[in-house]
Amino acid sequence: MLYLQLFISFFKIGLFGFGGGLAILSLIQMEVENHGWMSQQEFVDIVAVSQVTPGPIGINCATYVGYTTAGIWGSILATTAIILPSLVIMLSICKAYFWLSKRFQGNMYYEQTLRMLRFTVIGLIASAALMLIKPTNFIDTASWIIFALVAFFTILPQLSKNKVTEIISHPILLIVLAGIAGYVIYA
Amino acid sequence: MFWQLFYTYLKIGTFTLGGGYAMLPLIQREVVDRKGWIDEEEFLNMIALAQAAPGLIAVNSAIFIGWRVGGWKGVAGAVLGAVLPSFIIILAIAMVFREWKELPAVEAVFKGIRPAVVALIAAPLFKMAKSAKMGWITALIPITAATLIWLCHVNPVWVILATIILTILACFIYNSLYRSSK
């Protein structure tokens, strides 16, 4: 039963995960929360681990949730389930590539749907962030200072683009720095 | 062909940190510039398709290029190569993570990281809104979507389905009005 639930959940995530990495987070969050597979805190931790390890966040989350709920077979099952919709859809696209590109380019229904999905995905990512603003993740004033600093450095390259701001805005560097700050403040 | 694609994607999968989008320039360098498996234009078409289709962008691109270059064997090689590095690394981490988290030092580090992660999720929103050319009226879409999910706990799946159905409906109404007015 657990295997079936895992499979359905991650198949759904793969099927409705438009817009890549961050957009998929809100789908994963909803599934793991509804099934009680992970606490909010553990979810954030796994997103953090995903940011500093190679590979797509979706695969990382599927592997982690699969393993912690149902062992090695669970992790293989969840990872396969999240890829499966891609396989079916992308292979169909490949097979009908020339036919598709002729019919869909300039097609109003197709292009407007993609445009609207882009807006929705922004909302999805925003909801993922909003759902994580909780006392378990923001324990004191220092948390908010870290939040503000990381947000500031991430946006910085858009205000002035140069080598220094580019390096400072790197997510891995920011996570490592936040980790050091956490150790200094809380340990 | 299986091994060539497997090896290429294994390399890309091992050395890209931070997910799908970070992989694209590396894929381009390997597949277009070095191996010449597909040309620049087809690569750009591929990115557009990999983004339009649901699923992980890295996996979608691996399927497309695998198929173009080596058929079924190519797909198998590219997908396995793209997925295996993160699968193995996260599996290893998952095996020890819950025990390590009991350590006070590790917990302290994660206390610092958690707000940073929330900021990393939230901050790119401005850039995305800008590149999607979001105006005051279209801003209502993400605001509605976020509110439904955040406050009403609506499953994002329904929000995505509603977007698709409503857009098609709106286009249909627009089309029929436009035609009848002619």
Shared domain for A148 and A124, answered yes or no, is no
Per-residue confidence at A98, pLDDT binned at 50, 70, 90? low
Return the domain boundaries, chain B: 2-100, 135-181
Query: Which carries the bigger pLDDT value, residue A178 or residue B26?
Result: A178
Q: Taking a C-beta distance cutoff of 8 angstroms, is the pair B59, B74 a contact? A: no
Which residue of chain A is at minimal alpha-carbon distance from B93? A64
Shared domain for A81 and A165, answered yes or no, is no
Structure-block tokens of residue A19: 């817009």
Which residue of chain B is at minimal alpha-carbon distance from A42? B98
d(CA A156, CA A165): 6
Shared domain for A129 and A150, answered yes or no, is no
Residue A110 has pLDDT above 70, yes or no: yes
User: Measured between CB atoms, does A69 come within 8 Å of chain B?
Assistant: no
Structure-block tokens of residue B146: 């976020």
Shared domain for A101 and A171, answered yes or no, is no
Flag if A26 and B156 touch (Cβ within 8 Å): yes
What is the overall mean pLDDT for chain B? 87
Interval B152-172 mean pLDDT: 92
Query: Which carries the bigger pLDDT value, residue A147 or residue A93?
Result: A147
Shared domain for A51 and A107, answered yes or no, is yes
Flag if B64 and A179 touch (Cβ within 8 Å): no
| Other C-beta atoms lying within 10 Å of the C-beta of residue B43 | 20
Strand partners, A54: B17
Flag if B113 and A175 touch (Cβ within 8 Å): yes
Residue ranges of A 9-38 with Cβ closer than 8 A to chain B = 12, 14-22, 24-27, 30
Interval A9-28 mean pLDDT: 87
Is B47 strand, coil or helix? helix
Flag if A94 and B52 touch (Cβ within 8 Å): no
Total number of domains in chain A: 2
| Other C-beta atoms lying within 10 Å of the C-beta of residue B151 | 11
Interval A115-119 mean pLDDT: 88
Q: What does pTM read for this prediction? A: 0.85
Exposure string for B3-31, b = 16+ CB within 10 A, e = fewer: ebbbebbbebbbebbbbbbbbbeebbebb
Flag if B116 and A126 touch (Cβ within 8 Å): no
d(CA A80, CA A6): 11
Query: Which residue segment(s) compose the domain that A85 sits in?
Result: 2-134
Shared domain for A102 and A143, answered yes or no, is no
ipTM given for this complex: 0.86
Shared domain for A29 and A56, answered yes or no, is yes
Residue A104 is which amino acid? F
